[in-house]
Amino acid sequence: MCGIVGAVAERQVTPILIEGLKRLEYRGYDSSGIAVIDPETGSLKRLRRLGKVNELVKANQEQGTEGTVGIAHTRWATHGRPSEANAHPHLSGHKLAIVHNGIIENYEVLREQLKANGYEFSSETDTEIIAHTIHQALKTSESLLDAVQRSVTQFEGAYGLAVVSLDYPDQIVIARKGSPLVLGLGIGENFIASDQLALLPVTNRFIFIEEGDTGIVERDKISLFDKDGNVVEREVHEFDAEHDSGDKGEFRHYMLKEIYEQPRSIQATLDGRITDTKLSDTIFTEAELDILKEVDRVQIVACGTSYHAGSVARYWLEDIVGLPCQIEVASEFRYRKKVVLGKTLFVTVSQSGETADTLAALRTSKELGFYATLVICNVPGSSLVRESDMCLMTNAGAEIGVASTKAFTTQLVALLLLTLQLGKSNGLSEEKEKEVVRELRMLPSYIEATLLIDKQIQLLAHRFADKHNTLFLGRGVQYPIAMEGALKLKEISYIHAEAYPAGELKHGPLALVDENMPIVAVAPNNELHEKLKSNLEEVRARGGELYVFADKSAGLNPDNDFHVVELPSVGDVVAPIVYTVPLQLLSYYVAEQKGTDIDQPRNLAKSVTVE
Ligand code: F6R
């Protein structure tokens, strides 16, 4: 999704802005642009390009942008096709430039009003109305901030906004509603961005802008105002530089790097949270534990990969703890009539903490009177973290590849920790707790062992590369893992993939099976193994080619049309986490064969901050 970077400094800001944009590339975008003010010469220069940030870099080398105050943007088209004219920054007159994330829903009405007042439009975007509205307000305002504060009252929808003007050459004015903004604090220089990752080369001190805030960012000063215009102080957070995964190291893609980081990221999720035999009692505060003790049901809401993590947790919560649990995708949950029963804990799961649908669902849950809210999240200070009663951070470190990998497995670990925590007040035996904790302690080494089958999977990948459809099968808790495997394959290799609980095959999808339809099955040696084996035979009998990821003790016999990839024997509880890894590798190597843009697949964005 769109990205914003801005800087007010003594030094030239273009390199900072460009580096920031490069760091936001992972979020997905189609064009980029920059506007820089040189207070000494009184010039405002804008450059925009369709395509990758490198196009902007080339344009900058040819034309140059000098200045010490600037804003920059990567655009992911919502209103108006990807084009240079629609790229940000947008200007109004020759003095005012803005960048915007989000969507202004009432832009058509505002556009007509502005046209009637003589404004001309040079783009198809909703954003250009923001530039003209502020320009118009400036005529009767005492400051740029005043103009922005008066303008935003007219906007319906979401915005993260940064504005510069030649009449206020030492300021960036910002506003936030619905789209995240963060300030980076320097010495004699300050920065803004939509994601702190963009600013890690220049600072590790951040202020997360709250909903409804506006502010002025200057070299030596930051002034913030809440939604009612009152001066506010916001907490400064220090970001651990170790979490900056800004380069790919020895790997060709961030996705592969992040798949290989999983033993480490899972360890980071576990650190300090389990002892040798039990869950540590310091994961939650005393007050939070008092709330969790009362919980008698769980409702999980999330999107995409995070939804799959929640779907696994439903099995855990009901199997291990006996707590009733429901799960729903956020985009449906937010618009459906709900019945809230008992003391239901409302759990959201999100890598970014900024997914618009999940955030809206959280806000709806508060109106509906859910007992308490908890988020499983990877980004400290994100909107979901700030707006939830409790949070359990996944500590996976920055995930850059659009396709979620280490965020997913660490979400599963965090959800398993939450399951144990809720188990404590719901009759979970010490013995069961000890067994799960032992498996969790082993998990990083299980993943290490699983990564060793990389080459074997690489060799199988070419068998998928020319196919158009694939089926993924799983049973029980492995069904959501099959769903996650199918999602990974379709999003990065563009091969249509669907997941089915294997027992459903005979009710329809079996009709699809022929020699052109590879079928992938996740088959740990659990109580459903024999049933799954029968389902696989049904497929074989119809000429389907099978690729089965199975426990090495399962005794499956490979054949020409029956490929078996053996995984280490692991406990049932952590098996879904372990079996995720080969499916990630499979989709990665199929996409590599096909030559797709693995880290930034077409049409997708890392953090989906619009509905
Ligand atoms: C797929 C993927 C998406 C996200 C979804 C939710 O690989 O990454 O499906 O899982 O957009 O995002 P978060 O977890 O940030 O709320």
Place 45 in a pLDDT band, splitting at 50, 70 and 90: very high
- Angstrom distance (rounded) from CA 276 to CA 53: 48
Q: How far apart are the first and last CA of the chain?
A: 11
Residue 136 Cβ contacting ligand 1 at under 6 Å: no
242 CA → ligand 1 middle, Å: 23
Atom of ligand 1 nearest to the CA of 411: 14
Atom of ligand 1 nearest to the CA of 302: 16
- Angstrom distance (rounded) from CA 345 to CA 360: 17
80 CA → ligand 1 middle, Å: 24
- Angstrom distance (rounded) from CA 137 to CA 201: 36
22 CA → ligand 1 middle, Å: 21
Which sequence positions are flagged as catalytic? 2, 606
Would you list the DSSP string of 23-83?
HHGGG--SEEEEEEEETTTTEEEEEEEES-HHHHHHHHHHH----SEEEEEEE--SSS-S-
Compare 492 and 544 and report the one with higher pLDDT.
492
pLDDT of residue 515 exceeding 90: no
- Give the mean pLDDT of 271-278: 95
Give which of 50, 71, 292 is closest to 191, Cα–Cα. 71
Which residues lie below 8 Å from residue 387, measured CB to CB, with a gap of 6+? 359, 362, 363, 373
Which residues lie below 8 Å from residue 382, measured CB to CB, with a gap of 6+? 180, 208, 350, 352, 353, 354
Residue 350 Cβ contacting ligand 1 at under 6 Å: yes
The radius of gyration of the chain's CA atoms, rounded to the nearest angstrom, is 25
Place 240 in a pLDDT band, splitting at 50, 70 and 90: low
In the prediction, which pLDDT does 416 show?
98
Residue 305 Cβ contacting ligand 1 at under 6 Å: yes
In the prediction, which pLDDT does 78 show?
81
Residue 192 Cβ contacting ligand 1 at under 6 Å: no
Give which of 472, 579, 577, 454 is closest to 517, Cα–Cα. 472
Residue 208 pairs in a beta bridge with: 182
Q: Residues 25-38: pLDDT tens digits?
A: 887 789 999 999 98
Phi, psi of 132, rounded to the nearest 5 degrees: -70, -35
- Angstrom distance (rounded) from CA 521 to CA 513: 14
Indicate the SS3 state at residue 297: strand
- Give the mean pLDDT of 361-374: 95
Which residue's CA is the nearest one to ligand 1's atom 9? 304
Pocket test for ligand 1, best of 27, 303, 362, 399 (most atoms within 8 A of CB): 303
Atom of ligand 1 nearest to the CA of 488: 7
Would you list the DSSP string of 425-477?
TTT--HHHHHHHHHHHHHHHHHHHHHHTTHHHHHHHHHHHHT-SEEEEEE-GG
- Angstrom distance (rounded) from CA 396 to CA 350: 12
Which residue's CA is the nearest one to ligand 1's atom 3? 304
- Give the mean pLDDT of 523-539: 77
In the prediction, which pLDDT does 532 show?
77
CA atoms within a 13 Å half-sphere pointing along the CA-CB vector of 546: 28
How many CB atoms sit inside 10 A of residue 285's CB? 10
Pocket test for ligand 1, best of 27, 194, 306, 411 (most atoms within 8 A of CB): 306
69 CA → ligand 1 middle, Å: 34
Which residues lie below 8 Å from residue 288, measured CB to CB, with a gap of 6+? 389, 390
Per DSSP, which regions of 475-593 are E strands?
A: 496-501, 518-523, 545-551, 562-567
Measured CA to CA in angstroms, residue 75 lies from 162, 254, 576, 601 at distances of: 14, 21, 36, 15
Residue 351 Cβ contacting ligand 1 at under 6 Å: yes
151 CA → ligand 1 middle, Å: 33
305 CA → ligand 1 middle, Å: 5
In the prediction, which pLDDT does 42 show?
87
pLDDT of residue 589 exceeding 80: yes
DSSP 209: P
- Angstrom distance (rounded) from CA 343 to CA 351: 26
Residue 404 Cβ contacting ligand 1 at under 6 Å: yes
Angle between helix 430-451 and helix 262-270 axes, rounded to 10 deg: 160
Residue 352 Cβ contacting ligand 1 at under 6 Å: yes
Which residue's CA is the nearest one to ligand 1's atom 16? 350
Q: Residues 444-485: pLDDT tens digits?
A: 999 999 999 999 999 999 999 999 999 999 999 999 999 999
Q: Is the dihedral of CA 129, 131, 134, 139 positive or negative?
A: negative
Cβ(609)–Cβ(74) below 8 Å? no
Look-up of token digits 């939070």: 288
Q: Residues 105-114: pLDDT tens digits?
A: 999 999 999 9
Which residue's CA is the nearest one to ligand 1's atom 6? 303
